[in-house]
């Protein structure tokens, strides 16, 4: 069939791809000859239901056999590409990742997917342009059923890093910590270093230098971890701005590496777009070389910033992680109960609101020697930041939160109810982490620090379990209150801390050794099955 006839054939609109006006300024139509790529997310061979696995983790081979894409669907989409003059990037495509990558000019992609591409400029990114579309994507009727999402036709930056430097102008930090001190205060397991484990870290910009890492860990009296940079969609380790995303990258590596100094670290660098974000997670999950058992994510933005197809796809990817036994720790955001949305309402950050990740909120931590003197909700507003937390307006209440007294869904929410966060840890810049970034010492806080802190703890527990990963923690920890410091003081705006779970600090900050002991105890299949139903 020729491209002209194919274009005239009946088409189906992917309603979940609906993109509202960007809020940016249209600069021009995208150059018709500009070469672009799209990642098509293809349906599974069969639906993945975690509760049917009853807590059992599956191998990559079993995943490929049951829950990857069908080669016949890929063949059909290869025909679609050929009919529209698009090239298939076979090296970047993967049945296990359920991703087939197509490349072509902007004008060719416009015809293939029924969109009009424009270049936008945003006040938050002056001087930088991004192509995008408004409306919805469409596909020919014969090809649409196999397609769950089309990513890459909109390259708008989707996420922000959730870290905050301590403002030196306000004076010295009352009490800052090296990461091993925080691990000691939280009673992380001793006698293990994370050896044999790999911590994955997702980054959407910035970079690290080996010299900085060597100097930092030398000061701590630790051997620098083995760090591998993995390029996704052309992303790369690109340090150079100490006040920009380099601070995020170094915070993540230095915190995770210092609390689990024996673990390897794989850093997945991707462009800041929904395509880059999702491709990075799928790359990490199916990385047969590095094989991360835990993935730390410190980037995100309010649910309202994402298209439904992007949220559904990313959440489904995190469901795959749960089946494969990979824990995903995610920062809950640094803008309190509003999550930085200026509409007077309450919002939560995504992907922290995915019910298949461990959402990490923030506290302010005061110490007396090696003991915690006081711990409260991190809230420096209105001048500063505050831990994100609240109730999803998109994702339903998971069964494992049924007894957590999650507040009602905010006004305007339709199907939501998932409470955020699940856990917490030190995040206040006033009690922040001493790090080294681009040769400069700094004190950094934000929930960005909590995701790698928990990732390091998971790596320690995984080693303690003999390399048997804990995987999807959420169904377990809600019955393990003895493994947490319950935070009952403070608020993040509209939500208050209180006994047990709350929408500021979740279950609380970890008592690592107790939590490890509880997790390593035998867990009944019936309890796991009841808790795993988040799908």
State the catalytic residues.
248, 252, 448
User: What is the rounded CA–CA span in Å between residue 378 and residue 364?
Assistant: 5
User: What is the rounded CA–CA span in Å between residue 508 and residue 150?
Assistant: 38
User: What is the rounded CA–CA span in Å between residue 38 and residue 52?
Assistant: 33
Q: Give me the phi and psi of 260, to 5 degrees please.
A: -130, 70
Rg, Å, the chain Cα set: 22
Q: Tokens in use for 93?
A: 């495509």
Pairing of strands 299-302, 349-350: antiparallel
Q: Which residues are bridge partners to 201 per DSSP?
A: 267, 296
Q: Tokens in use for 369?
A: 């020697």
User: What is the rounded CA–CA span in Å between residue 212 and residue 434?
Assistant: 13
The SS3 assignment for 274 reads helix
Q: Give me the half-sphere count of Cα atoms (radius 13 Å) on the Cβ side of residue 85.
A: 16
Burial of residue 64 (number of CB atoms within 10 Å: 0-12, 13-18, 19+): middle
Cα 498 to its chain centre, rounded Å, is 27
User: What is the rounded CA–CA span in Å between residue 477 and residue 500?
Assistant: 12
Q: Tokens in use for 79?
A: 């025909």
| Residues with Cβ within 8 Å of residue 217, at least 6 apart in sequence | 223, 224, 225, 254, 257, 258, 261
Q: Tokens in use for 436?
A: 């080294």
Neighbour tally for 343: CB within 10 Å: 10
Q: Which residues are bridge partners to 474 per DSSP?
A: none
User: Is the peptide bond between 426 and the residue preceding it cis, with omega within 30 degrees of 0?
Assistant: no
Burial of residue 293 (number of CB atoms within 10 Å: 0-12, 13-18, 19+): buried
Neighbour tally for 218: CB within 10 Å: 11
In the chain, % helix, strand, coil (3-state, to 5) comes to: 30, 25, 45
Q: Tokens in use for 529?
A: 């099955």
Concatenated DSSP letters of 322-388: HHHT-EEEEE--SBGGGTT--SSS---EETTT-TTSEEEEEEEEEEETTEEEEEEE-B-TTTS-B--
Among the listed residues 264, 182, 184, 267, the one whose alpha carbon sits nearest the alpha carbon of residue 224:
264
For residue 398, the 8-state DSSP code is: P
Q: Which residues are bridge partners to 436 per DSSP?
A: 441
């Amino acid at each position: 069939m020729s491209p002209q006839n194919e274009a005239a054939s009946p088409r189906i609109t992917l309603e979940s791809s609906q993109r509202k006006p960007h809020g940016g300024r249209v600069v021009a139509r995208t150059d018709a000859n500009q070469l672009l790529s799209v990642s098509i997310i293809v349906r599974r061979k069969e639906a993945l239901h975690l509760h049917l696995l009853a807590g059992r983790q599956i191998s990559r081979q079993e995943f490929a056999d049951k829950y990857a894409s069908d080669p016949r669907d890929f063949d059909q989409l290869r025909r679609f590409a050929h009919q529209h003059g698009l090239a298939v990037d076979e090296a970047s495509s993967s049945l296990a990742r359920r991703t087939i990558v197509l490349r072509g000019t902007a004008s060719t992609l416009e015809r293939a997917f029924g969109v009009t591409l424009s270049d936008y400029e945003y006040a938050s990114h002056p001087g930088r342009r991004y192509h995008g579309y408004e409306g919805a994507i469409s596909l020919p009727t014969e090809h649409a059923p196999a397609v769950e999402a089309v990513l890459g036709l909109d390259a708008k930056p989707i996420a922000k890093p959730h870290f905050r430097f301590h403002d030196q102008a306000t004076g010295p930090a009352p009490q800052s910590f090296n990461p091993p001190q925080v691990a000691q205060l939280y009673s992380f397991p001793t006698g293990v270093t994370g050896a044999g484990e790999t911590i994955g870290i997702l980054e959407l910009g910035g970079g690290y230098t080996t010299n900085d890492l060597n100097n930092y860990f030398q000061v701590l009296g630790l051997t620098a971890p083995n760090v591998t940079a993995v390029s996704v969609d052309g992303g790369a380790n690109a340090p150079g701005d100490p006040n920009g995303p380099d601070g995020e990258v170094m915070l993540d590596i230095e915190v995770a590496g210092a609390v689990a100094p024996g673990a390897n670290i794989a850093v997945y660098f991707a462009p800041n777009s929904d395509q880059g974000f999702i491709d990075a997670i799928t790359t990490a999950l199916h990385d047969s070389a590095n094989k991360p058992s835990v993935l730390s994510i410190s980037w995100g933005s309010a649910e309202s910033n994402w298209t439904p197809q992007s949220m559904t796809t990313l959440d489904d990817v995190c469901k795959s992680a749960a089946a494969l036994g990979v824990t995903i720790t995610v920062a809950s955001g640094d803008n309190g109960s509003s999550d930085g949305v200026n509409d007077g309402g309450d919002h939560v950050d995504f992907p922290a609101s995915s019910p298949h990740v461990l959402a990490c909120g923030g506290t302010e931590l005061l110490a007396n020697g090696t003991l915690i003197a006081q711990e409260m909700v991190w809230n420096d507003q209105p001048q500063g930041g505050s831990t994100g937390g609240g109730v999803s307006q998109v994702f339903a209440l998971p069964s494992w939160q049924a007894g957590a007294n999650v507040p009602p869904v905010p006004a305007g929410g339709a199907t939501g109810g998932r409470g955020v966060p699940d856990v917490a840890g030190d995040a206040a810049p006033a009690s922040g982490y001493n790090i080294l970034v681009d040769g400069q010492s700094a004190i950094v806080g934000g929930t960005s620090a909590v995701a790698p802190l928990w990732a390091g703890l998971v790596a320690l527990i995984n080693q303690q379990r003999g390399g048997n990963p804990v995987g999807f923690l959420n169904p377990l920890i809600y019955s393990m209150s003895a493994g947490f410091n319950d935070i009952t003081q403070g608020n993040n705006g509209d939500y208050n801390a209180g006994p047990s779970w709350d929408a500021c600090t979740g279950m609380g900050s970890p008592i690592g050794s107790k939590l490890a002991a509880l997790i390593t105890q035998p867990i009944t299949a019936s309890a796991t099955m009841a808790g795993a139903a988040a799908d």
